[in-house]
Structure 1
Amino acid sequence: MLSYRIPTRRSFGLVAAAAGALAVATLAGPAAQAQAPSPSWDQVVAAAKKEGTLTFYNNLQPNGIEPLLAKFKEAYPDIQPEQIRLGSNPLIERFQTEFNAGRNIADVLITFPDERISEGMKAGWMAEWTPPELPNFPPEINEANKVFTLQYAREAIIWNKSKVKPADAPKEWTDLFDPKWKGKVGMNPPWRSVSIQQVVAFWEDKGITNPAQKLKDNEVRFFEGSGGIIQAVLRGDVSVAELTDLPLNPLLEDGAPVGFVYPASGTTLSANKAFVAAKAPHPNAARVFVNWLMTKDGQEALQKYCGLSVTRKGAPPLSNLPATSQVPNVVDGEKILTPQRQAKIINEWRTVFGIQ
């Protein structure tokens, strides 16, 4: 019997000086910082080694985090990272609560954002700095030298090849509403996930009316997160499912009997973004870690172990999934999901399914 790894699961500045001078935190007071020149990258690395540790909050694929950290420690053995993993919503909520309370624990946060990240930029959550690796990325991944997009997740339809004949395999989003799959469609509930809210908005933009009621009529089954959906598909609890493709590539590498499609009508992508906390306890180690994630080795490790398409220019596609540029009609979900629309979708789906 095959064994599968099942996960449990949102101004492009050039470096001015040849040495890669950066605006980073120092131990000096505010007046001294205003007059002192920015330290070189070598000085940042040296200070990071003295700090010796960092804490990063993330929603990366669970079974990929330790291999990723092992690769980082190969590059920087003097820095020991510790991590706390939560879903995007509780992760952002935790950081926000700690920031407001003056409890500065996180050095780095990596997550799929919602409007709170934009609000956090205004509130001073993020440090402003220029990673030395930034010139190797397209300009759109950089938000004010504070937030950097490292990876993209895409929405897809998957199915159990043991349960679904090739001729019956779904091809479009409307197939999820087909009565032949009644009681056999799986999905992450929209009130739980920003990425699902985004694809619901996309469906509406494509003319799919009342998707919540249509899926209720088709007796959709909800599962918590991508990991729960994958388990349900592999067990045969459902035959087809909507999935954020976070855990898909590792499963395909393991030979799991899962088919997939990115519908030709289009899909949404979610940006997995990173920032260094403005009040990071270990600010230099935090910068070294984020910059390493942007290196060729770091991006390869992110893609290999965490299963999402990376953003570095020239990076190869995932081993079993197409690059984002090869997926048809991709829409940035963050651009179509306004806070007002998000609230409307959540309220509508909760109402239709009787969730308080």
Structure 2
Amino acid sequence: MKTPALLLAAALAAATLMPAAADAAQGRLVVYTSTPNKAMADLITAFNKAEPEVTVEFFRSGTTEVLAKLDAEFAAGSPEPDLLLIADSVAMAGLKARDRLAAWPDAPVEGLPVSSYDQDRTWFGTKIIATGIAWNTAAGLPAPTGWADLAAPAAKDRVVMPSPLYSGAATIHVGTVTATQDLGWSYMEALKTNGATALQGNGAVLDAVATGRAAYGVLVDFMAFNAAAKGSPVGFVYPAEGATAVTEPVAILKTARNVDAARAFVAWLLSEDGQRFTVAQGYMPLRPEAGAPPGRPASVKLLEVAPDTLAAIGEETRRHFAALFGG
């Protein structure tokens, strides 16, 4: 026979559980992202298997254009997104400095590399997207091994790269390379002297390399591997000096209308299930237990510069790059 105290405890427990069920993630969730349209649509489908009551809508463009749209909305006092899922932590560091991001102290980051998320837990890396060198394997030219090869005579007038004026990954790449002692702006100037040209984004670089209009391209890894798997004559190498990388961080805005759904989205991305889906999409995961895409090395040597440093030099990086390669 249960005592009154036990009955009261059971009633309180039931009352505690009932709101949790009622507060399950649901409703409209708006995401602004630089993730390619098809990849984002597939991600939402996978997320909805775990959270079927959330209706995800998204706006997609390059990181620079996403941020420009968001800035205009902030200025008008009507920011639309609940979440940002964009290429680089530098942009997130800038938004955090402007007090635009909501902290989530209890975010599920256990087991993730400490360097992959903001220590105040306002943004969280979701994957590793490394930038290296793609080349047209049908061009009859030597396979590259490092960044120096793009400034060599064999690559003259045959190198393309994404512009940091459009691409967040390119901003990280140029900022990291120019802040690295053995490369620096002298390396970028050597590329210009060797006839390298800047295109709008990584997609344009891939197209130029795959069609043979360029022999070599500075490109994010997953695009090259995905193209090769579909039969394009595209090879890829992680440079011996070290690749640059972005972690495609996700963040909840302070102005988010649907915080519960936003947290559910972030939690799923960081979970083992979410990380395994990352691998299935051809990206390197942050959780080693999620495995790796076929044909990738177990680890990649990276050139690393602190996000706050890259954020501080971001405008100068873009100005200097535009002066060299044009807008």
User: TM (normalized to structure 2)?
Assistant: 0.84
Matches within 5 A, 1:183-198: 183-198=157-172
Distance 1:120 1:86, change over 3 A: same
Cα distance, 1:194–1:334 mapped onto 2, change above 3 Å:
farther
Whether the 8 Å contact between 1:202 and 1:267 is mirrored in structure 2 is: no
In structure 2, how many angstroms separate the alpha carbons of the residues matched to 1:293 and 1:331? 23
**Which of 340, 344, 348 lines up with 2:316 in the alignment?**
344
Describe how 1:211-290 pairs up with structure 2 within 5 A: 211-290=187-266
Could you tell me how far 1:104 is from its partner in structure 2?
A: 3.2
Shift of 1:332: 4.1
Match of 1:95 in 2: 70
Q: Counterparts of 1:69-84 in structure 2 under 5 Å?
A: 69-84=44-59
Deviation at 1:237, TM superposition (A): 0.3
Structure 2 contact 160–198 (Cα < 8 Å) conserved: yes
User: Measured at CA, do residues 352 and 79 of structure 1 come closer, stay the same or move farther in structure 2, by a change above 3 Å?
Assistant: closer
1:331 aligns with 2:304: yes
Q: Distance in 2 between matches of 1:89 and 1:230?
A: 19
Letter in 2 for 1:99: F
Task: After TM superposition, give the deviation of residue 210 of structure 1 in Å.
Answer: 2.7
For the 8 Å contact 1:270–1:332, the answer to whether it is kept is: no
Matching of residues 112-131 of structure 1 within 5 Å: 112-113=87-88, 115-130=90-105
Matches within 5 A, 1:23-172: 43=19, 46-49=22-25, 51-113=26-88, 115-130=90-105, 133-143=108-118, 144-165=120-141, 168-172=142-146
Structure 2 vs 1, CA of residues 140 and 180 (structure 1 numbering), >3 Å: closer, same or farther?
A: closer
Count of equivalent residues: 310
Describe the SS at the equivalent of 1:67: helix
Q: In structure 2, what is the equivalent of residue 14 of structure 1? A: none
Q: Indicate the percent of aligned positions where both proteins have the same amino acid.
A: 25
Alpha carbons of 1:102 and 1:251: their partners in 2 closer, same or farther (altered >3 Å)? same
Q: Which moves more between the two structures, 331-340 or 222-231?
A: 331-340
What's the offset of the Cα at 1:145?
2.3
Query: Does the 8 A contact of 1:249 with 1:319 survive in 2?
Result: no
Counterpart residue number, 1:181:
155
1:346 Cα deviation (Å)? Answer: 2.6
1:199 counterpart = 2:173: yes
Is the partner of 2:127 in helix, strand or coil? strand
Deviation at 1:95, TM superposition (A): 2.3
Unpaired runs of 5+ in structure 2? 1-14
- Contact 1:151–1:308 (CA under 8 A) maintained in structure 2: yes
- Aligned-residue offset at 1:85: 0.8
Q: Secondary structure at the match of 2:125?
A: strand
Shift of 1:201: 4.3
User: Where does residue 3 of structure 2 map in the other structure?
Assistant: none
Q: Which runs of no fewer than 5 residues in structure 1 stay unpaired?
A: 1-38
